[in-house]
Chain A
Amino acid sequence: MRFLHSAWILSVLTAVGAVSAAALVPVQPGSREQLFEIPKGTWARRMAGAKAEILPAEIRLVLGVKDVLVLRNLDDVPQIFGPTLIMPGQSLRLPFEVASEYQFACTAHLNGEMTVIVDDGPTSAPSRLRWRLAALSKMAF
């Protein structure tokens, strides 16, 4: 009985410790990159009159979690993104540090524009805990 009582106390202490750690330790995801690819043949399909979007018009990122946009051009022609060209086979890795809404010129979009919305990340204890529980449920299902 005494052993069971000790086990119970140990379990509760461990649980409190784990939840505290999950709430207090800053989120450090394995990769903060969110990759989007412009597929091969995009330009040719556009020239042939295809209207389908290949990338979302609006991309959402979260500071400290997924805050690095990676745009990879697998097409045969250069693509304009913002103030630069991404050459065939090349990627642009663009980190964000300020939560805001950003507009970029983007030839991979039908309207020639891409919107990137960067949200604040989980920096408070409750938001970290919520974020980790959500990550857990994603892993489980």
Chain B
Amino acid sequence: MMSKAWAVLVIPACLLIALAAESSIHDGFKSGVFEPPRAAPGFALPGSNGSAVALSAFRGKVVALVFGFSHCPKICPVTLAKLAEVSQRLGPSAKDLQVVFVTVDPERDDPARLRTFVGYFNPAFVGATGSQAELKALHRAYGVTATRVASENKALGYEVHHSSSIYLIDREGKLRVLVPFGKSADDILHDVRLLLDS
């Protein structure tokens, strides 16, 4: 009878050992993290604010870098709206977050158009444009893809299929986090706060 009692205990005991072997979950960034982080590729491009937009000028702030275009029907408005919400929910700390929107469509996105477009979401956001060659080099440096395709909407003429992630750059100018399209404003806010506090 005693041996049966021990037998009954064997599997449950093993299960308890398996439970004990599991440790707590690490609560880190919600999005993709680069380890070790590298210096974010720099740029200085004509900006929507009337002067050159240089990444280095934002040292000391967290930068949310987005590549897109103002005629984008689906992706860019969603991304910028989420970043506007993040900025608003940061409260006074929003001054330490800079959203930079670099166009993938320099033919149509001049500084004035970018100013109107990004300003619609938040007047503190800045847009940047440049020559095809400058922008192509920048895309290569970040791994961004941008392909021009005919639009189903004749009024738009063409669209640009482009990478839709947000690149988060820390206060020291290092590329730290890749936020895939579709992440919630809560998750983006969480990651931005981690960078602001680090």
Partner-B contacts on A (CB < 8 A): 4, 7-8, 10-12, 14-19, 21-22, 25, 27-30, 32, 78, 80-87, 89-95, 97-98, 105, 132-133, 135-136, 139
| A75-B114 Cα distance, complex, nearest whole Å | 39
Tell me which of A10, A29, A83 contacts B178 (CB under 8 A).
Answer: A83
Q: Is the CB of B38 within 8 A of A4?
A: no
A-B contacts counted at CB < 8 A amount to: 119
Provided the pairs A21-B19, A83-B144 are in contact, do residues A91 and B35 lie with their beta carbons within 8 angstroms? yes
Ordered nearest first, which 8 A-B pairs have the shortest CB separation?
A18-B12, A83-B163, A85-B143, A11-B5, A22-B15, A94-B32, A15-B12, A84-B143
| A29-B33 Cα distance, complex, nearest whole Å | 20
| A91-B2 Cα distance, complex, nearest whole Å | 54
Q: Is the CB of B178 within 8 A of A7?
A: no
Instruction: Point out the residues of chain A lying under 8 angstroms from B8, CB to CB.
Output: 11-12, 15
Instruction: Point out the residues of chain A lying under 8 angstroms from B15, CB to CB.
Output: 18-19, 21-22, 132-133, 136
Tell me which of B1, B23, B142, B164 contacts A30 (CB under 8 A).
Answer: B23
Tell me which of B4, B38, B167 contacts A90 (CB under 8 A).
Answer: B38
| A95-B33 Cα distance, complex, nearest whole Å | 9
Q: What are 16 of the A-B contact pairs (CB < 8 Å)?
A: A8-B1, A11-B9, A18-B15, A21-B19, A29-B22, A29-B23, A83-B143, A83-B144, A84-B163, A85-B141, A85-B142, A92-B35, A93-B33, A94-B178, A135-B18, A136-B15
| A34-B121 Cα distance, complex, nearest whole Å | 38
Provided the pairs A28-B22, A85-B143 are in contact, do residues A90 and B36 lie with their beta carbons within 8 angstroms? yes
| A133-B109 Cα distance, complex, nearest whole Å | 58
Instruction: Point out the residues of chain B lying under 8 angstroms from A15, CB to CB.
Output: 8-9, 11-12
Q: Is the CB of A93 within 8 A of B9?
A: no
Instruction: Point out the residues of chain A lying under 8 angstroms from B33, CB to CB.
Output: 92-94
| A78-B163 Cα distance, complex, nearest whole Å | 18
Provided the pairs A4-B2, A18-B13, A105-B145 are in contact, do residues A136 and B24 lie with their beta carbons within 8 angstroms? no
Instruction: Point out the residues of chain B lying under 8 angstroms from A92, CB to CB.
Output: 32-35, 178
How many Å from the CB of B120 to the closest CB on chain A? 24
| A109-B65 Cα distance, complex, nearest whole Å | 28
How many Å from the CB of A24 to the closest CB on chain B? 10
Q: Is the CB of B16 within 8 A of A18?
A: yes
How many Å from the CB of A30 to the closest CB on chain B? 5
How many Å from the CB of B73 to the closest CB on chain A? 19
Tell me which of B16, B29, B167 contacts A22 (CB under 8 A).
Answer: B16
Provided the pairs A82-B165, A83-B145 are in contact, do residues A25 and B19 lie with their beta carbons within 8 angstroms? yes
Chain B residue nearest to A81 in the complex (CB): B143
Q: Is the CB of B25 within 8 A of A28?
A: yes
Question: B60 near A: Cβ within 8 Å?
Answer: no
Question: B14 near A: Cβ within 8 Å?
Answer: yes
Not counting A21-B16, A28-B25, A132-B18, a sample of 6 additional A-B residue pairs whose C-beta atoms are within 8 angstroms of each other reads A8-B5, A83-B178, A92-B35, A93-B29, A95-B31, A133-B15
Could you mark each residue 125-142 of chain B with 1 if its beta carbon is under 8 Å from any beta carbon of chain A, else 0? 000000000000000011
Instruction: Point out the residues of chain B lying under 8 angstroms from A25, CB to CB.
Output: 19
| A29-B82 Cα distance, complex, nearest whole Å | 32
